[in-house]
């Protein structure tokens, strides 16, 4: 495998989407196209990797409207509309069910998509908080009918946590697309 020059000198970590994740992305794109449902993402700790995985699939432009990388707290508030009362609340904050729900709703609004997934968490190393160890990742799924959140605790180093989060987020998008098509 040929590495990009930045990877070769160790400045940029590489993440490779495994075959299972790419298979899920293919299934997602096929479902979106067949059911005329669009998706979008709001990502913090995955930094756009969910959108990247989906757009690796040919024809994905008919499925995904876009993604918002809201790594910084002000972006969560200013772009996605996450309230400061959530972001500043002790024990709640950016890594929480409340934030994940607001991010997913904000992505639907900003991107004009039918289904949106959000990812916010602590990929490590470091950054853990009381009750929120490294690997804690909250995800939100917003559809026209509901918004749900999902707690996750992924093991591994930073790349592994992020790769596992990407796979789970795509699974949630597939679930959301199917639920949306069934209810409409």
pTM of the model: 0.91
Distance separating alpha carbons of residues 91 and 96, to the nearest angstrom: 8
- Of the candidates 169, 53, 84, 176, the one whose C-alpha atom is nearest the C-alpha of residue 120 is 169
Q: Going by C-beta distance under 8 Å and a sequence separation of 6 or more, which residues neighbour residue 58? A: none
Domain 39-183 class, CATH top level: alpha beta
C-alpha span between 174 and 181 (Å, rounded): 11
User: Domain residues of the chain, as ranges?
Assistant: 39-183
Task: Give the residue from 30, 37, 41, 65 showing the smallest Cα distance to 180.
Answer: 37
Give the pLDDT score at 6.
45
pLDDT at residue 184 in the model: 74
* CA distance linking residue 72 with residue 140, whole number of Å: 18
Average pLDDT for runs of 10 along the chain of length 184 = 48 64 95 98 98 95 98 98 97 97 99 99 94 98 98 97 97 98 86
Handedness of CA 37, 78, 47, 120 (dihedral sign): negative
| DSSP-derived 3-state class of residue 65 | strand
Distance CA 66, CA 153 (A): 26
């Amino acid at each position: 495998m040929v590495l990009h020059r930045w990877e070769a000198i160790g400045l940029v970590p590489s993440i490779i989407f495994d075959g299972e994740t790419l298979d899920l992305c293919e299934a997602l794109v096929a479902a979106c196209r067949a059911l005329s449902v669009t998706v979008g993402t709001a990502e913090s700790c995955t930094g756009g990797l969910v959108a990247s995985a989906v757009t690796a699939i040919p024809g994905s432009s008919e499925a995904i409207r876009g993604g918002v990388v809201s790594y910084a707290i002000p972006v969560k508030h200013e772009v996605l509309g996450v309230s400061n009362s959530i972001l500043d609340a002790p024990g709640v904050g950016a890594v929480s069910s409340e934030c994940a729900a607001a991010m997913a709703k904000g992505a639907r609004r900003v991107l004009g998509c039918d289904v949106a997934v959000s990812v916010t968490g602590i990929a490590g190393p470091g950054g853990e908080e009381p009750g929120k160890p490294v690997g804690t990742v909250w995800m939100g799924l917003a559809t026209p009918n509901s918004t749900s959140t999902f707690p996750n605790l992924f093991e591994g180093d930073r790349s592994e946590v992020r790769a596992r989060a990407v796979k789970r987020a795509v699974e949630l998008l597939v679930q959301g697309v199917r639920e949306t098509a069934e209810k409409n």
